[in-house]
Amino acid sequence: MNKSISKINIFICCLILAFNYPNTGNYQITKYQANSLLHQITVVDEGDHRYLLFDDYIQTMMKKNRPLEGHFDYIESFHLVNVLQGREGTSCMIGLGGGSAVRTFSDRYKEGKIVVAEIDPIVEMVAKEYFGMPKNPNLEINIIDGRQMFKRKGAPKCDTALIDGYSTSRYGAYIPWHLATKEFFSEVKKTMPEDGIIAYNVIGTIDGKSSLNVQMITKTILENFDYVFAIPIADTFNVVLFGFSGNLNEYTARIENFRNQKNQKYPNLLRLSYLLKKVEISEKTPILSDEWAPIDMPGLMVKIYQ
Amino acid sequence: MNKYYYLTFLTGFGLLSFEVFGPRLMQPHFGQSPIMWASTISVFLGGMTCGYFLGGKISSKNTKIKIKKITSLVWLSISTLVIFSPEINDFVASVFLEKEPTKWEPLLISFFNFFIPATLMGTAFPTLVELCPSEKTKKGEHTGILLAISTLGSILGVLSLYFWLITTFNTSEIAVFLSVPWLISIAILKTIKT
Chain-chain contact of A153 with B27 (C-beta, under 8 angstroms): no
List the CATH code of the domain at A68-300: 3.40.50.150
Nearest CB to B167; choose among A167, A178, A297: A297
Which residues in A have their CB inside 8 Å of a CB on B? 37-38, 119, 144-148, 151-153, 167, 176-178, 181, 183-184, 289-292, 294, 297, 299
| CATH homologous superfamily, domain B3-188 | MFS general substrate transporter like domains (1.20.1250.20)
Please report residues of B whose CB lies closer than 8 A to that of A145.
30-33
Chain-chain contact of B31 with A181 (C-beta, under 8 angstroms): no
Give the CB-side neighbour count of residue A24, counting CA atoms within 13 A: 6
Is residue B194's pLDDT more than 90?
no
| B160 interfacial to chain A (CB closer than 8 Å) | no
pLDDT tens-digit map of A144-175? 999 999 998 889 999 999 999 877 766 667 88
Q: How far apart are CA B146 and CA B141, in angstroms?
A: 9
pLDDT tens-digit map of B94-145? 999 888 888 899 999 999 999 999 999 999 999 999 998 877 778 889 899 9
Q: How far apart are CA B24 and CA B175, in angstroms?
A: 11
Q: How far apart are CA B93 and CA B98, in angstroms?
A: 9
Chain-chain contact of B31 with A37 (C-beta, under 8 angstroms): no
Chain-chain contact of A291 with B171 (C-beta, under 8 angstroms): yes
pLDDT tens-digit map of A234-293? 888 889 999 999 999 999 999 999 999 988 899 999 999 999 999 989 888 999 999 999
Please report residues of A whose CB lies closer than 8 A to that of B171.
290-292
Mean of pLDDT over chain A? 88
ipTM score assigned to the predicted complex: 0.85
Chain-chain contact of B35 with A37 (C-beta, under 8 angstroms): yes
Predicted local distance difference test score (pLDDT) of residue A299: 59
Chain-chain contact of B28 with A292 (C-beta, under 8 angstroms): no
**Mutate which: A290, A295, A301, vs B, most B CBs within 10 A:** A290
Please report residues of A whose CB lies closer than 8 A to that of B172.
291
Nearest CB to A144; choose among B101, B167, B170: B101
Amino acid, single-letter form, for residue B94: S
| B167 interfacial to chain A (CB closer than 8 Å) | yes
- A199 phi/psi in degrees, rounded to 5: -120, 135
Among residues A91, A105, A94, the alpha carbon closest in space to that of A192 is found at A91
Q: Which carries the bigger pLDDT value, residue A30 or residue A16?
A: A30
Please report residues of A whose CB lies closer than 8 A to that of B30.
145, 148
User: What is this structure's pTM?
Assistant: 0.87
* Sign of the torsion angle spanned by Cα atoms B169, A298, A202, A93: positive
Nearest CB to A147; choose among B31, B34, B169: B31
Residue B22 pLDDT level (bands cut at 50, 70, 90): very high
CB burial string A239-264: b at 16+ within 10 A, e below: bbbbbbbeeeeebeebbeebeeeeee
